[in-house]
Structures are given as structure tokens and as C-alpha cells.
Structure 1
Amino acid sequence: MNTYKALGLIETFGIVYVLEAADAMCKSADVELIGFENVASGYISVLVRGDVGACKAAVESGVQAVKNMGSEVYSSVVIASPHHDIEKIIGRYSLENLNL
């Protein structure tokens, strides 16, 4: 059975806050930025992947970065061992699928 890396996710309101969170997440730990999704009405989620410790550190840093800017994080989570079917969802939000 394949081993899938942990996932770290943060959802907040507004592109400026999510970019600050993503920047803090990538700088604070050895994680890979998977992508983002504009959920609804300005809420945006950012996804990273790495080992469990790195994802926990990244999410903590991202949450703190948003709070330091005076905003709130709507939701955050680390999934330590995601089921392989989660890849079907993650692929939809991958930066690799964007035409940048």
C-alpha cells in the first residue's frame, strides 16, 4: 500500500490573508504548496503537503500569520495519514492544473 504524505489546510477570508498564510507555511517548514481554492464569498483555502510534523508547524505558522494581520482563520486542519482516495479531490485544486 502506498504511503501518502500528510496534508495541512487553512481557510480564511481574502486573498491577501491566504497569501500571507501560504508564505508563512512554506517558509516555516519543509512542505510543498499544493494549491488553493476560492471556496465561496471570499473564503479561500490553501493546501500544503509534507510529513506530519512539517504540516503541523506550517499550519501553526500560517494561522499565526493571519492572526498577526488582524484577521481570523475560519478553519485549519492537519490530516496525518490521508486516505488515497483524497487524491481525487486534491488533484482538482493543484496548482499544476492551472494555466498560469
Structure 2
Amino acid sequence: MSETDGTPDESEAASEPTTDTEGGRVRRYANYAVLLVLGVLAFVAVIQLYLSVSSAIRTWIEPEYRSLFQAGFNLVVLFAAGLGISYQLRRLYG
């Protein structure tokens, strides 16, 4: 410590252990990799679900009502995506 102002000297600051060790960095990158893989799997699952519901609408709904059901389904998906985006933005910036 510096005798004049009580702050650590440069030599003392350099000798202190850092909190971001090599093992911690590797663990953090592994967590990011797992998150990325899970995100890709979730994206594929959502696309498959969307296509399956669209196919079910084409199969079970009479042709004159298909566009109405498809529009309703798309509106629900859009609303859910808007809620998710809003939630994430609040977590990041709020």
C-alpha cells in the first residue's frame, strides 16, 4: 500500500489473483456453447410446430375458414413473440 493515500501499489495490484481464471473462462464458454445449441434446437422445434399447426389447419378446417384460422394463429404467434421480446428488453435495459 502506498504510504500517502492508502491505495495499493502497482506491484501489489499485479500480485493479487484475478477472479477470471482460465477454468472460469472455459466454463463460461462451455455454458455459451450449450446455450447456443439449446437455442438452435428450440428454434427448429418452433419452426416445426408452426408448420405442423399450419398443416393441421389445412387438414381439419374447411377451405372457406382456413384464412381466418391461419390469421388467428399467426396473431397468437406474433403476440407471444412480442411478449418475449418485451420481457427480454426489460431484463436487459430495465
Give the structure with higher Rg (CA). 2
Report the TM-score when normalising by structure 1.
0.27
TM-score relative to the length of structure 2: 0.29
